[in-house]
Structure 1
């Protein structure tokens, strides 16, 4: 049992990573569609790359979306319109007409009153027969209409129904054509008081009828019989062949699988997702070992992969047409901000491979997203500069649009059928990429990471901690500024993180604030407290500034990446002056009492700080510096550090050390305003 526990603790980091991959894989597959994956991959307009394909069983040919849309439009254009016809309105109008007739036609000279009254009643009935409406749809007059009179339905043409605004002119025309023209004004007066609309358009009933007809629309046309050839090798996948392949694919992906086949599908998905995530983990282990050793950073990377997969899956599930609106380029941007471009691009490609299972037109999607990811990595420099982010977003959007134009030209043989809505989706994805800035801030707080954006804020010399350093230890502050400039120049020379090492240099000596006058650069009066202390006590004070700096940094919540510079800027080197002074009186003294606790520098940036710090501090002891003296002085200090093994853990090469020394020499010569001495 003890051996099992020991083995568990020994391998707990590996077990955590394996558990993380397992959980991520299960979550990804859980949100994947569980239909079978069609075994053939094809693209519209491209040749069929497989052998001749024959039907294993009968299947229906699906109509294309254009054909279905055309049929739907025909149904809508030919559908009957429904009007509610109120017979009471006509009866009431006739009653009002009869009651008002005698009052209007009250002239005693009228001899044919009964005929006039019957003429008016017949005219009124004729107008009401097909209905009068307040407003009718602006459609063809020949469109068929159903007049719903209670339980009875009458069929007429739309043109036979009169609008209320048409009735006055209709009455005038009818009266002009009759033999009672002389009574025209009296009839018009009478009709105006009697006529009201009696037919009301019923959009609900009309739409229900259209919906019913649409529901009966068949989505298929014809059948491919078992054994018949679907497509031949080399044939272009377009027209009838394309529709047959889409029908076969839809039939396969929508069929009901048995429990055993369903389980096999899920198991296959899990194996492929695990394989992809393991490849990502192996890449990190081989090429980014420091990231691999940090479980928080591994969790952060897989969390972002999972987030992008889940976001894309949700869009594909509810609105597949909007899949290109997902800002997938946020992923390489974030990983580049916290790690580096190579890791960001590799993770981006792995994520796209996973999404290839669920997105439509997976080849086109893969091509577009990989190209966009490469452009993101190449175009985004110094993310903390807002202008650079906007430029990068513009370039990403442009690449999307160019690639879409190219694919559309291949598929359609032109740009006539270009879907402009897709261009809007690309612009939307580009704008959504701008969300990377607040997202970086959120991730810094949640995962305790640090990006160039935060480093820029920390490099402000007006920040609380640096202002305190300048007030309490002005000499140390000035030294830190000089070291920061040296480090930044050296880092730029060898391709290291210049922003990180500059900020690390600004804070590397903050521990000296506790006892500033114990360090020579802050002794303005010329009184040296070490004159009254033993070498061991003096060495302990000097060494303690590293421990004090770590405590101050943690108290002020500086990121761990900056605290690493404080811990390592002296490595395990010796406080040589006081060690030699102690040996003068005590040969048996232990060197361990005069050594910094370490650890050794473990990156290019921390190694650069050690070199720059030592060279800048020691350069203050030069009495009459010359160019040759500075060159030999730099060589001597760096060689001593290399002989002591201070750079054994740092991933810095001999060539890069030579380049750093060259920069330090040049900068020190500039500081002391030295020129090359020419022989007379």
Structure 2
């Protein structure tokens, strides 16, 4: 048991990676659509390149979206609205109108003409309420048919049959004129306006209910294909009805109800493919990015980004499949390039796109567009910390999306007229969303404790609080750091290392000298040397301590670990040679480890460059006659000694690259120490 625990402890990093790999695979498989995948791509407008396809089962042919849309529009245009007829209002008016006539007309007129007047108003009222008096005038065509509901019965009548409230006066006046009752026009109008009330209203609820019922009964299929029938032959062009039949077959194939055993096999298949893709990524990192593979935080960061993109795409697909290109997938290679390098960013992007191919429709088109956009992202984005570069790159990415979409539309539809402006807008939105990469990188830096070029740019500002403090307390060290930064940046550019990281590391590598600045020769402004009063061993310890002090100061000021690595490694495990030899003069049995820096030795190209530049720049101050030959021998001697001591064994830097660094240092030092023309007195 104890042995097992010890093995578990020793291999905890490996077990964590296995756990992370399994967890990511499970979550991605969970997010993938469940069901069978149609094994053929449907290339609209192109010849069918597979073998003859026969229907594996009976299935219905789906109508196109355009056909369904037209059918829905036709139903809505031809739908008959419903109106409600209130019989109680009509009865009440017929009951009260005779009494109203008696009250409006004088007794003398009523006695003489009463019967005729009552008969007239009853007849007119019957005409008004035959189909009803409409409360409000709806904007309908007069000839349009409507349903008029009286109780439980509904009658189909033209809309013009309904009397509108604003047309009552005109109707009554016409009736009065026909009955030769013009002398009693005002009294009769008063009778009608005091008696009649609208009794027909538009039944919006029932009309909508009937409309929805008709819309829900729309058939989404037209015709059936029997099992064994040939769907398409090899070489036939996939267009028109053939395309619809293939689309219907694919839809039916993927939406069938699967049995438990089939479902389990599908999950197994997905798991194998997802695990295989993630395994390829892990193997790539292990083989070509060993430093990243050994850092669990960095591996977690990469897998988190893949999972984040899968989740985001799945959410958008569930919301509306048409907005799938709004997901700014190019953020993935942008982010990984900012923190790592372009090759890892591209490889991870391709793996992610392959996984997303299981989720999105038209997977070939989607993967083609996204891989091309990812390549453009990697090729165009450089120096992400410059805002203009990001905007230019986003514009190029969006342009590539649009051009590719145009090409696919022409292939599939045969003309440019079918280009959808809404899709172009979606590409623009996706491009704008890509600009979110800068705040996202800042968030990642805080969460995962990593550093990007944008943070390095901020740290390279010599007006920052820590560098200003260094310039005030140890001005000689500050000047030395600036010189080393210039040398390191030039050397890093030449061997394609991270020049910004090398420069920032050089600026901060000696901040530990602020604790005891006068014990370092570059800060001594008088002839008095502080080491004269100390033993060589004590002096050596003060010199060595500037590394430890620098690490403490760096952590106190929240410098990123990548920058603190330069402080930790810029002397590697070399010795403070001057004080070692001084002690050796007095004591033959001196312990060399007492004069040795704690290390570790450099473990990246950038930290190796700093060690070379720091040693050469510092020692160059002792050159009395810096001729070209002296400088070349001087640089060779210092760097060769570091190589003999094995200081670059862990830094992944080649002999050829070291020779290039030497060449740069020689050239730079010659420029620094060049002799001016002697002016005549």
1: CA distance between counterparts of 2:182 and 2:427?
70
- Do structure 1's residue 23 and structure 2's residue 32 form an aligned pair? no
Match of 2:506 in 1: 505
Rate the CA distance shift 1:660–1:163 in 2: closer, same or farther, 3 A.
Answer: farther
Match of 2:445 in 1: 444
User: Contact 1:333–1:436 at 8 Å: present in 2 too?
Assistant: yes
Q: CA deviation at 1:428?
A: 1.7
2: CA distance between counterparts of 1:62 and 1:530?
92
Q: CA deviation at 1:291?
A: 0.5
Unaligned regions of 5+ residues in structure 1, if any?
none
SS of equivalent residue, structure 2 residue 558: coil
After TM superposition, the structure 1 stretch with the greater mean CA deviation from structure 2, 581-590 or 75-84, is 581-590
Number of aligned residue pairs: 677
Match of 2:61 in 1: 61
1: CA distance between counterparts of 2:651 and 2:245?
61
Rate the CA distance shift 1:221–1:184 in 2: closer, same or farther, 3 A.
Answer: same
2: CA distance between counterparts of 1:612 and 1:342?
28
User: Which residues of 2 match residues 569-648 of structure 1 at below 5 A?
Assistant: 569-648=570-649
After TM superposition, the structure 1 stretch with the greater mean CA deviation from structure 2, 450-459 or 165-174, is 165-174
RMSD, aligned α-carbons:
2.4
Rate the CA distance shift 1:632–1:175 in 2: closer, same or farther, 3 A.
Answer: farther
SS of equivalent residue, structure 1 residue 574: coil
2: CA distance between counterparts of 1:96 and 1:430?
74
Match of 2:133 in 1: 132
The CA deviation string for residues 229-274 of structure 1, in whole angstroms up to 9 with x for no partner, is: 1110111222111111111112111111111111111111111100
2: CA distance between counterparts of 1:99 and 1:417?
71
Q: CA deviation at 1:306?
A: 0.7
1: CA distance between counterparts of 2:599 and 2:56?
72
User: Which residues of 2 match residues 238-387 of structure 1 at below 5 A?
Assistant: 238-387=239-388
After TM superposition, the structure 1 stretch with the greater mean CA deviation from structure 2, 477-486 or 284-293, is 477-486
Q: CA deviation at 1:304?
A: 0.8
The CA deviation string for residues 408-452 of structure 1, in whole angstroms up to 9 with x for no partner, is: 222222233332222222122122222222221221111111111
Rate the CA distance shift 1:174–1:487 in 2: closer, same or farther, 3 A.
Answer: farther
The CA deviation string for residues 603-634 of structure 1, in whole angstroms up to 9 with x for no partner, is: 12111111211122122223343444434433
Q: CA deviation at 1:107?
A: 9.4
User: Contact 1:141–1:157 at 8 Å: present in 2 too?
Assistant: yes
- Do structure 1's residue 91 and structure 2's residue 61 form an aligned pair? no
The CA deviation string for residues 640-676 of structure 1, in whole angstroms up to 9 with x for no partner, is: 3223322222222333333323333333344445469
User: Which residues of 2 match residues 151-550 of structure 1 at below 5 A?
Assistant: 151-172=152-173, 179-181=180-182, 183-550=184-551
User: Contact 2:101–2:117 at 8 Å: present in 1 too?
Assistant: no
Rate the CA distance shift 1:664–1:96 in 2: closer, same or farther, 3 A.
Answer: farther
The CA deviation string for residues 113-140 of structure 1, in whole angstroms up to 9 with x for no partner, is: 4334433332333233223334454344
2: CA distance between counterparts of 1:177 and 1:508?
112
Give the TM-score of the pair, scaled to structure 1.
0.94
SS of equivalent residue, structure 1 residue 525: coil
The CA deviation string for residues 485-528 of structure 1, in whole angstroms up to 9 with x for no partner, is: 22222222222212111111111011111111111111123311
Rate the CA distance shift 1:283–1:108 in 2: closer, same or farther, 3 A.
Answer: same
User: Contact 2:135–2:164 at 8 Å: present in 1 too?
Assistant: yes
2: CA distance between counterparts of 1:113 and 1:87?
27
The CA deviation string for residues 468-488 of structure 1, in whole angstroms up to 9 with x for no partner, is: 222221211121122112222
The CA deviation string for residues 351-402 of structure 1, in whole angstroms up to 9 with x for no partner, is: 1100111111101110111111112222222222222222222222222222
2: CA distance between counterparts of 1:80 and 1:671?
93
1: CA distance between counterparts of 2:170 and 2:496?
88
The CA deviation string for residues 23-64 of structure 1, in whole angstroms up to 9 with x for no partner, is: 111111112121111122222222212111112332221222
SS of equivalent residue, structure 2 residue 60: strand
2: CA distance between counterparts of 1:162 and 1:300?
74
2: CA distance between counterparts of 1:30 and 1:70?
38
SS of equivalent residue, structure 1 residue 432: helix
Q: CA deviation at 1:190?
A: 4.1
User: Contact 2:52–2:234 at 8 Å: present in 1 too?
Assistant: yes
User: Contact 1:43–1:361 at 8 Å: present in 2 too?
Assistant: no
SS of equivalent residue, structure 2 residue 34: coil
SS of equivalent residue, structure 1 residue 416: helix
2: CA distance between counterparts of 1:165 and 1:423?
51
2: CA distance between counterparts of 1:132 and 1:674?
111
Q: CA deviation at 1:165?
A: 3.5
Match of 2:52 in 1: 52
Q: CA deviation at 1:312?
A: 0.9
Match of 1:101 in 2: 101
1: CA distance between counterparts of 2:139 and 2:674?
89
1: CA distance between counterparts of 2:198 and 2:417?
48
SS of equivalent residue, structure 1 residue 48: coil
After TM superposition, the structure 1 stretch with the greater mean CA deviation from structure 2, 94-103 or 598-607, is 94-103
Rate the CA distance shift 1:508–1:147 in 2: closer, same or farther, 3 A.
Answer: same
After TM superposition, the structure 1 stretch with the greater mean CA deviation from structure 2, 498-507 or 668-677, is 668-677
2: CA distance between counterparts of 1:249 and 1:516?
76
After TM superposition, the structure 1 stretch with the greater mean CA deviation from structure 2, 464-473 or 178-187, is 178-187
Match of 1:37 in 2: 37
Rate the CA distance shift 1:367–1:107 in 2: closer, same or farther, 3 A.
Answer: farther
1: CA distance between counterparts of 2:106 and 2:633?
133
User: Contact 1:568–1:606 at 8 Å: present in 2 too?
Assistant: yes
1: CA distance between counterparts of 2:523 and 2:338?
37
After TM superposition, the structure 1 stretch with the greater mean CA deviation from structure 2, 592-601 or 117-126, is 117-126
SS of equivalent residue, structure 2 residue 435: helix
Unaligned regions of 5+ residues in structure 2, if any?
none
Q: CA deviation at 1:170?
A: 4.6
